[in-house]
Amino acid sequence: MSHHSRFSPRSVLFGGDYSPEQWPESVWREDVILMREAGINIVTLGVFSWGLLEVDDDRWDWDWFDRIIDLLSNEGISIDLATPTASPPIWLHREHPEILPVDRRGIRYHQGGRLQWCPSHPVWHRYARRIAERLGERYGAHPSVTMWHVSNELGGGNRRCYCAASTSAFRVWLENRYEHIDAVNSAWGTAFWGHRYRRFDDVTAPLDSESAQNPSLLLDFDRFSSDALLGQFRLERDALRDAGVTTPITTNLMVSPSGSVADYSSWTEDLDVVAIDHYTIAEDPRRERELAFVASRTRGLDPSRPWLVMEHSTSAVNWQRRNAPKSPGEMIRNSLQHIAHGSDGALFFQWRASASGAEQFHSAMVPHAGSDSRQWREVVELGRRLAQLDELTGSLGERSEVAILVDDISLWAWQAGQKPLHDHPIHEDARHWFDVLSARGFGPDVVPPSSDLAGRSLIVVPSLYLVTDAAAAAIEAAVRGGSTVVIGPLSGIVDADSRIRVGGYPGAFRDMLGVVGEELVPLLDGEQLLLSSGAQMADISARLRTTTADVVEVHRGGDLDGLPAITRRTVGAGAAWHISGLVGAGFDDLVDRITSDAGLARRLPSSDDIEAVRRVSADGSWLFLINHGTADAVVPADGTDLISGECADGQFALPAGDVAVIRERVEKRATRPV
């Protein structure tokens, strides 16, 4: 792990992206006055400043940057200093258009956006390293620069590049992974359509070839693209270290339920702090649950340390179909949700709303209306609340007995090539489980398949299409050791090379489950299958027969009438359940049956509208209670609310839309290990 300097803020971090270059210096002075009023203690500086620092090739203007750093420093505001490689200057694109990425059609993009570079191009590497080195040399020892931030949302606009440099780098990546071209042919099954390669130089980036392409090739190109972006992070991080930077270095990951641009589970060893950007979706009526899912997934990347939300929004964004503002109080709840799940701060994009440019309608801490506004008053109120929470910095999210396994590589494999079901958002299956388990007080962790499964009472494997042999073995070992596992539909279908595990579905788990799936059965629009309990399946099921499993539910009616739909098998000291299709009506009852079978007990006072999350440390535990509903509630709790100072003696009155952070009584937390 990188960890040159431990991320350990003494206060909950509060601030946001600051772009003083967009404003005259008279506004800078107003900014710091407002920052003091709100209790801001950190700003991210320099994200899009390259063209204003290096005004032409190796011609530099540091004066304005020195002045703003001095101004912030004099006010006691620390700085998360970004390398500005998210936005190459116009002069660089003019002189080196070859660094611009190429799309799948082979068309090179033009200047005018951001993240407009190929992560495999050597010319780009030279300029990116230089700007990072110069910043590190000038500000690496500055006492107010407490953290460094490499680029911005790596891969957000350039996840894949298909240029000649990318093809060359892809060939090297393949040779390192497979060593011999025959291993590539075997892994990809290139006998199909006769696409056998004679040597690595035959392989190209998968440019558009009109017809369907080899899914194993597409998956490996996704893996390569993730590694190329990680290589870009390492290049800039190492340049900073070589220049003498000793403070923590990170970048803002883009963790999402719908799939991330990179396999972040392979990035965490390189990050001094796991940091993310997150924006709620206005059209999602339960967007607070999506936030909780993403925050839980972020915590699951490395449960051994706190993380940081680097960007979220005070209100509306500017890139959704309809950019509705957040409701009164929603921004405060969002911020405290992230902290509840393990973030040691709440940072925003951005400090002051832009008057010009592509993001001029994106909300900010200081809106266009200025400080006489609801948004600003909520920012000040959030700062007041965060100042009460400093004692919990460094604490961790409490480990759950329940784990939901998610994996972006598996999602990429499902998205690569033609599949039986193309219009089902497979990523939503994990969130469906998360929402129901959370509302029942089980507080599930969302973790990658490579995580430690020891001590988990329930392991849910929802639609994990690609499963490695190692992950399948670890899941079976956990079951034999006493865990209950649920294998959902479309799980275990292909191996690490995206090759079908032949012999019957779900291949990786077939023997453990004691079932054989003869064929997948996608359903037509509006079609549903009835189960013996009255529950219903939609979208997909499977023609299933048992070998050693017990049948829990069968299909009623239609071509699958009387065939198994849900099964259970005792395996060692544990139990393995299989759900052959996507359950709609009746899903909640099914979850109740499974959690009861696993012997799970509620550990958090959650409900449909009350979100309860616990952070723990060797010194104490803190129970976050968040009322997302429109009615006041009384919630079980023992301790003192850090925000209001009110005591909870068995119960706590939580108004609609409000948040409490209960420092729990010692006797309540004594048996709760970190």
Catalytic positions, please? 153, 311
Q: CB neighbours of 41 closer than 8 A, spacing ≥ 6?
A: 11, 13, 14, 15, 76, 77, 78
Q: Are 117 and 151 in contact (CB under 8 A)?
A: no
Burial of 78 (0-12, 13-18, 19+ CB in 10 A): buried
The CA-based diameter of the chain, rounded to the nearest angstrom, is: 78
Beta strand residue intervals within 183-265, DSSP E: 249-250, 252-253
Pairing of strands 78-82, 145-149: parallel
Q: What is the DSSP string of 156-185?
A: TTTS---SHHHHHHHHHHHHHHHSSHHHHH
* Calpha distance 281→229 (Å, rounded): 26
Q: Tell me the C-alpha to C-alpha distance, in Å, between residue 138 and each of 58, 65, 71, 81, 253.
A: 15, 11, 16, 12, 26
The torsion of the CA quartet 63, 66, 67, 73, rounded to 10 degrees, works out to: 180
* Calpha distance 203→183 (Å, rounded): 13
The secondary element (H helix, E strand) that includes residue 435 is helix 428-439
Q: Name the H helices within 49-121.
A: 50-53, 63-74, 90-95
Pairing of strands 59-60, 54-56: antiparallel
Count CB neighbours of 66 within 10 A: 13
* Calpha distance 455→443 (Å, rounded): 15
Q: Are 595 and 483 in contact (CB under 8 A)?
A: no
Count CB neighbours of 191 within 10 A: 10
φ and ψ of 68, to 5 deg = -70, -35
Q: Are 31 and 351 in contact (CB under 8 A)?
A: yes
The answer to whether the Cα torsion of 442, 448, 449, 452 is positive or negative is negative
Amino acid at 190: T
**What is the token pair recorded at 14?**
């509060």
Q: CB neighbours of 608 closer than 8 A, spacing ≥ 6?
A: 439, 629
Q: Omega into 506 within 30° of 0, i.e. cis?
A: yes
Q: CB neighbours of 475 closer than 8 A, spacing ≥ 6?
A: 405, 449, 453, 459, 461, 485, 509, 512
Count CB neighbours of 59 within 10 A: 9
Q: CB neighbours of 653 closer than 8 A, spacing ≥ 6?
A: 632, 633, 634
The torsion of the CA quartet 167, 172, 178, 180, rounded to 10 degrees, works out to: 100
Q: Which residue has the tokens 């190109």?
A: 221
Count CB neighbours of 90 within 10 A: 11
Residue (of 383, 381, 353) closest to 365 by Cα position: 353
Q: Are 322 and 288 in contact (CB under 8 A)?
A: no
* Calpha distance 644→624 (Å, rounded): 13
Task: Residue count of the chain, please give it.
Answer: 674
